[in-house]
Chains A and B, each alone.
Chain A
Amino acid sequence: MTTTRRRTTRKKKSAPDLPDVQPSTEADGIAQGLSAEEYARAVEICGRPPNLLELGIFSVMWSEHCSYKSSKKWLRQFPTEAPWVILGPGENAGAVDIGDGLAACFKMESHNHPSFIEPYQGAATGVGGILRDVFTMGARPVAILNALRFGDPDHPKTRHLVAGVVRGIGGYGNCVGVPTVGGECEFDPAYNGNPLVNAMAVGIAPADRIFTAKAEGAGNPVVYVGAKTGRDGIHGATMASTTFDDEAEQQRPTVQVGDPFTEKLLIEACLELMATDAIVAIQDMGAAGLTSSSFEMASKGGLGVELALDRVPMRETGMRPYEIMLSESQERMLMILKPGQEAVAEAIFTKWELDFAVIGTLTDSGQMVLTWNGETVADVPIRPLADESPEYDRPWVETVPPAPLDRASLSPLGDWKTALTKLLGSPNGSSKRWIWQQYDHMVMGDSMVVNGVGPGGDSALVRIHGTARALALTSDCTPRYCQADPRQGGMQAVAEAYRNLSATGAKPLAITDNLNFGSPQRPEIMGQFVGCTQGMAEACEALDFPVVSGNVSLYNETNGQAILPTPVVGGLGVLDDLSKAVNIAFPAGGLELVLIGETDGHLGCTAYLRDVLGRTGPDAGPPPQVRLAIEKRNGTFVRSIIGKGLVAACHDLSDGGLLVAAAEMALASGIGCSLNITEVSAAMLFGEDQGRYIVATAHASAVLSAAYAANVPAGKLGVTGGDALTLNRGRSISLQDLRASHEGWLPSYADSET
């Protein structure tokens, strides 16, 4: 336990000798990633050239990651309010009212680049970071989701990345004891040089006790808790390009390693302290560590802050102020305490064997003052640095969607069974059981099993502990749609999340997002960003499904090869009566199947085109249109019939269309079905028209008349039963064969050595 013990530096240096306090030049600014103009603004704000330490602060605070300078303008389009929204974007996580005096706090974040460099640790620390965002708010984390995108399975790096990332997510989540309940996993060559690892965390807090990062009360102590600070993750380019290269080897930044055990202790200690009345404000140290956490707390409160950096608990000897301020060591938090509460807090952190140090105080100077062994080493104004953080309206060009497909040019369907088997067994269509069985998806004893099935449905269902309610959680995005038509793709990601929640009976409340794109400095990429966010905003507006938190990850490209535009949507809904929840598994034979929604047979951009006909990109035509009013009407209808107890199982239609959805329902329970479809064509069987659901019901006539009354297209599709999937009383394919294909691909791919 360290409190305010001073570390002796190996070579004791007085502040004026430190390279950190040498004045910077424009070249230093550029080397640290600022533009010439941004550097000039920094000089103006300081009234002198900032020293190298101060420059480091400008450079991280004005980085794309912290300042959202390319995306801000477009994020403002998102609707962020609804009667149930407690906190929208701007805090560590968003918060919505989920009834019973409780709030759900949730957010998604990317760890793409670190996961490419070191898949296990990159993914693990991604989970750790997003959990901190949630428990910082006073919420106990109750669920994790993970949205993964990898390159071509045949690319030499892919297998190793899949194995490492999945192990990393499990390694962290399993150890902290928060269930990983759902996610996505797709493969596409566009991610060869840049996989995506997005993690979402959900926590539950008392609605009237949500903690924020807004500092208050000059004179209040600033307290550091958690793990010690090392040289982890200090921006490599920054380090290499400054004059800081004595002891170069020793000071080389290192990969961040996660310590889930310490995180678990930090969760328990923070929640224990939060139950007292000691905390004024709290903020985790995420990207840009101590710099952005202290800066944000002070700037939100309109205050100044003074930190004695020599009091920061350090893991390594010889660390300098610059390194301490920029370190991204994990499992650390910064808090402002009420005066006199230090002892209460310290006792709790000592009990959990965590470091605790009072490292500074809030001031009313409006300045961030950093000292090192008593000498001032940085002194920068907070407000101007925050207010004048750059914002760009980057040039963009609109993506022109491909011309409609000429259906006549497509080869005929042939045997539907072959196509179905292929779709269910393709890398993207195959079961992701191999992944989620490596995650403890049940710990905490609230992961619901419906119709005998846990994970693998449209949304994960997590009981709200001690209540009769449940959260429904999903993450969705169809990047190939976004690439072909960003606006439609953006809408579709939101609409699919809405459908996945509705299909369980849950009322969709709000979303978080993770916007993964290539370089915003390329107008065509910026055009994808603009289009996707416009589409998302429209959909959120129309569906009453506001954005309450999110994350932007740009520059996802390697050698000029950008990823597919991938705006991942994390949706949260609530079921007021968990006993009414349904999932995709047929619970019995003899039920009738009803198809809800309209089928035109849209084949453009479908999984069928990609996986069966091998057509992708501009060759694959435009994606299906999302009709938001219809989405809302159909979703509302589906929830209402589930609420009335008319539904035994429900699944939305997405990748692979009707036949894939029916097969997934049958495979989930092992009970087959027999379908009647007038036109056996690729368009009818595998088209991806939006806004559709399959419902299994023992009350078909009630469902149909309710649909008629609600003006929702609905028609009988077939019946459940048997151990095969049969079309028009004719040919059938056994579930055993379908299962072999669906469950076979991922394990055989991921567990093989070559």
Chain B
Amino acid sequence: MSLRAGVVVFPGSNCDRDGAVALAMVAGRKPKMIWHQDTKLPPLDLIFLPGGFSYGDYLRCGAIAAHSPVMREVVAAAKKGVAVLGVCNGFHLLTESGLLPGALIRNAGLKFVCRSVDLTVERTDTPYAGRYTQGQSLSIPVAHGDGNYTADADTLARLNDEGRVAFRYRDNPNGSADNIAGIYNETGRVLGMMPHPERAVEPMLGSSDGLGLFQSIAEVLA
């Protein structure tokens, strides 16, 4: 079986095509593009919430999109165990819709930052990280103005204790608490991360380190 992936397109999404290209590379077929006003999801193994500026990131990043009709379905699907990967603006959506704890605020440097960063793989026993090794260093780009992860002390302690930090920055580009670059939900099937693995899937893009994430998905979820 090949991976049934869906990429949700919100007004203002702009990494939807990049995500679809990366998923097609590993899935052997094109993912379904899902419009934000859709009220029913097709059967899917993975829902990809892409980066970009949904609704211009006006008001708060991801806030308006989190209330779109399709997000109700995404939340319901996630609760039933469907895997959901939110990258960048997709991570904003996951926190805004309550699928992941905490919030992402303005970068500590106040500037948009687009560059490659080094990440440490914190955990490999999830559908996203099986192709990596514990502690492996990945070079993956970030591109965001609001990627500064914050949560209250209890939440941070819980994330750390329960091993729910997916990746940490080796050189923190945005001031995130505990160098958090990505986190899982309780089951490890929902992952939100600021770096863009879909921008690191072939040497021409400067790194293929993101490919392992998509390969893991294809292997485990299909």
Kindly state whether residue B157 has any CB partner on chain A within 8 Å. no
Complex formed: what's the CA distance from A447 to B196 in Å?
14
Interface flags for A155-170 (1: CB within 8 Å of B; 0: not) read 0000000000001001
The number of residue pairs between A and B whose CB atoms lie closer than 8 Å in the complex comes to 87
Complex formed: what's the CA distance from A449 to B12 in Å?
26
B22, chain A: closest CB distance, angstroms:
8
Complex formed: what's the CA distance from A171 to B11 in Å?
17
B53 touches A264 (CB 8 A): yes
Interface flags for B49-60 (1: CB within 8 Å of A; 0: not) read 001110111100
Kindly state whether residue A524 has any CB partner on chain B within 8 Å. no
**Given A174-B112, A438-B112, do A443 and B12 touch, yes or no (CB 8 Å)?**
no
Of the candidates B11, B15, B203, which one forms a contact with A265 in the assembled complex, judged by CB atoms under 8 Å apart?
A: B11
Complex formed: what's the CA distance from A353 to B11 in Å?
9
Residues of chain B with a CB closer than 8 A to A439's CB: 112, 114
Residues of chain A with a CB closer than 8 A to B115's CB: 437
Complex formed: what's the CA distance from A68 to B55 in Å?
38
Residues of chain B with a CB closer than 8 A to A352's CB: 11
Of the candidates B11, B53, B55, B207, which one forms a contact with A174 in the assembled complex, judged by CB atoms under 8 Å apart?
A: B53
**Given A437-B115, A438-B114, do A264 and B12 touch, yes or no (CB 8 Å)?**
yes
Among A176, A261, A262, the most chain B Cβ lie within 10 Å of the Cβ of A261
Near B by CB (< 8 A), chain A positions 383-437 give 436-437
A175 touches B113 (CB 8 A): no
Near A by CB (< 8 A), chain B positions 177-222 give 196, 198-199, 203-207
Kindly state whether residue B126 has any CB partner on chain A within 8 Å. no
Residues of chain A with a CB closer than 8 A to B113's CB: 437-438
B112 touches A170 (CB 8 A): yes
Kindly state whether residue B17 has any CB partner on chain A within 8 Å. yes
Among A170, A177, A444, A447, the most chain B Cβ lie within 10 Å of the Cβ of A177
Among B22, B196, B199, B204, the most chain A Cβ lie within 10 Å of the Cβ of B204
Residues of chain A with a CB closer than 8 A to B196's CB: 442
Residues of chain B with a CB closer than 8 A to A444's CB: 14, 17-18
From A448, which residue of chain B is reached at the shortest CB distance?
B204
Near A by CB (< 8 A), chain B positions 35-83 give 51-53, 55-58
Kindly state whether residue A454 has any CB partner on chain B within 8 Å. yes
From A262, which residue of chain B is reached at the shortest CB distance?
B56
Of the candidates A260, A448, A578, which one forms a contact with B53 in the assembled complex, judged by CB atoms under 8 Å apart?
A: A260
Kindly state whether residue B175 has any CB partner on chain A within 8 Å. no
A129, chain B: closest CB distance, angstroms:
18
Kindly state whether residue B158 has any CB partner on chain A within 8 Å. no
From A268, which residue of chain B is reached at the shortest CB distance?
B11
Residues of chain A with a CB closer than 8 A to B206's CB: 449, 452, 454
B14 touches A264 (CB 8 A): yes
B199 touches A442 (CB 8 A): yes
B14 touches A176 (CB 8 A): yes
Kindly state whether residue A480 has any CB partner on chain B within 8 Å. no
Kindly state whether residue B100 has any CB partner on chain A within 8 Å. no
A443 touches B56 (CB 8 A): no
**Given A174-B53, A261-B55, do A443 and B205 touch, yes or no (CB 8 Å)?**
no
B143 touches A261 (CB 8 A): no
From A434, which residue of chain B is reached at the shortest CB distance?
B111
> Contact size class for A?
20 to 34
Complex formed: what's the CA distance from A495 to B176 in Å?
46
From A177, which residue of chain B is reached at the shortest CB distance?
B14
Among A261, A262, A436, A442, the most chain B Cβ lie within 10 Å of the Cβ of A442
Residues of chain B with a CB closer than 8 A to A170's CB: 112
Complex formed: what's the CA distance from A443 to B114 in Å?
10
B204 touches A174 (CB 8 A): no
B11 touches A261 (CB 8 A): yes
A445 touches B199 (CB 8 A): yes
B12 touches A441 (CB 8 A): no
B57 touches A438 (CB 8 A): no
Kindly state whether residue B105 has any CB partner on chain A within 8 Å. no
Kindly state whether residue B34 has any CB partner on chain A within 8 Å. no
Residues of chain B with a CB closer than 8 A to A578's CB: 204
From B19, which residue of chain A is reached at the shortest CB distance?
A445
**Given A437-B115, A443-B143, A449-B205, do A261 and B18 touch, yes or no (CB 8 Å)?**
no
Residues of chain A with a CB closer than 8 A to B15's CB: 177, 443
From B14, which residue of chain A is reached at the shortest CB distance?
A177
From A176, which residue of chain B is reached at the shortest CB distance?
B14
Kindly state whether residue A259 has any CB partner on chain B within 8 Å. yes
**Given A437-B113, A452-B206, do A260 and B199 touch, yes or no (CB 8 Å)?**
no
Residues of chain A with a CB closer than 8 A to B199's CB: 442, 445
B204 touches A463 (CB 8 A): yes
Complex formed: what's the CA distance from A265 to B198 in Å?
23
A442 touches B141 (CB 8 A): yes
Kindly state whether residue B156 has any CB partner on chain A within 8 Å. no
Complex formed: what's the CA distance from A447 to B206 in Å?
9
Near B by CB (< 8 A), chain A positions 93-144 give none
Kindly state whether residue A557 has any CB partner on chain B within 8 Å. no
Complex formed: what's the CA distance from A95 to B49 in Å?
35
Near B by CB (< 8 A), chain A positions 436-469 give 436-445, 447-449, 452, 454, 463
B214, chain A: closest CB distance, angstroms:
13
Residues of chain B with a CB closer than 8 A to A438's CB: 111-114
B12, chain A: closest CB distance, angstroms:
5
Interface flags for B138-160 (1: CB within 8 Å of A; 0: not) read 00010101000000000000000
Complex formed: what's the CA distance from A442 to B140 in Å?
12
Residues of chain A with a CB closer than 8 A to B203's CB: 449
Complex formed: what's the CA distance from A167 to B21 in Å?
29
Residues of chain B with a CB closer than 8 A to A436's CB: 114
Of the candidates A264, A440, A448, A454, which one forms a contact with B11 in the assembled complex, judged by CB atoms under 8 Å apart?
A: A264
Residues of chain A with a CB closer than 8 A to B56's CB: 175, 259-262, 264
Complex formed: what's the CA distance from A265 to B10 in Å?
10
A505, chain B: closest CB distance, angstroms:
14
A445 touches B21 (CB 8 A): yes
Residues of chain A with a CB closer than 8 A to B141's CB: 442
B75, chain A: closest CB distance, angstroms:
23
Near B by CB (< 8 A), chain A positions 687-736 give none
**Given A174-B53, A174-B112, A445-B18, do A261 and B12 touch, yes or no (CB 8 Å)?**
yes
B11 touches A443 (CB 8 A): no
Residues of chain A with a CB closer than 8 A to B204's CB: 448-449, 463, 578
B143 touches A174 (CB 8 A): yes
B195, chain A: closest CB distance, angstroms:
12
Residues of chain B with a CB closer than 8 A to A264's CB: 11-12, 14, 53, 56
From B18, which residue of chain A is reached at the shortest CB distance?
A445
Of the candidates B13, B58, B143, which one forms a contact with A440 in the assembled complex, judged by CB atoms under 8 Å apart?
A: B143
Of the candidates B52, B53, B112, B198, which one forms a contact with A445 in the assembled complex, judged by CB atoms under 8 Å apart?
A: B198
Residues of chain B with a CB closer than 8 A to A437's CB: 111, 113-115
**Given A438-B112, A578-B204, do A177 and B21 touch, yes or no (CB 8 Å)?**
no
B206, chain A: closest CB distance, angstroms:
3
Complex formed: what's the CA distance from A175 to B56 in Å?
7
From B206, which residue of chain A is reached at the shortest CB distance?
A449
Residues of chain B with a CB closer than 8 A to A176's CB: 14
The residues of B with any CB-CB pair to A shorter than 8 Å are 11-15, 17-18, 21-22, 51-53, 55-58, 111-115, 141, 143, 145, 196, 198-199, 203-207
5 additional A-B pairs beyond A177-B13, A441-B114, beta carbons within 8 Å, are A175-B12, A261-B58, A444-B17, A448-B205, A449-B204
The residues of A with any CB-CB pair to B shorter than 8 Å are 167, 170-171, 174-177, 259-262, 264-265, 352-353, 436-445, 447-449, 452, 454, 463, 578
A-B pairs with lowest CB-CB distance, top 9 = A177-B14, A261-B56, A449-B206, A445-B18, A175-B53, A440-B143, A438-B112, A440-B114, A170-B112
27 A-B pairs with CB atoms under 8 Å apart are A171-B112, A174-B53, A174-B114, A174-B145, A175-B14, A175-B53, A177-B14, A261-B58, A264-B12, A264-B14, A352-B11, A438-B111, A438-B113, A440-B112, A440-B143, A441-B114, A442-B143, A443-B51, A443-B143, A445-B18, A445-B22, A448-B204, A449-B205, A449-B207, A454-B206, A463-B204, A578-B204
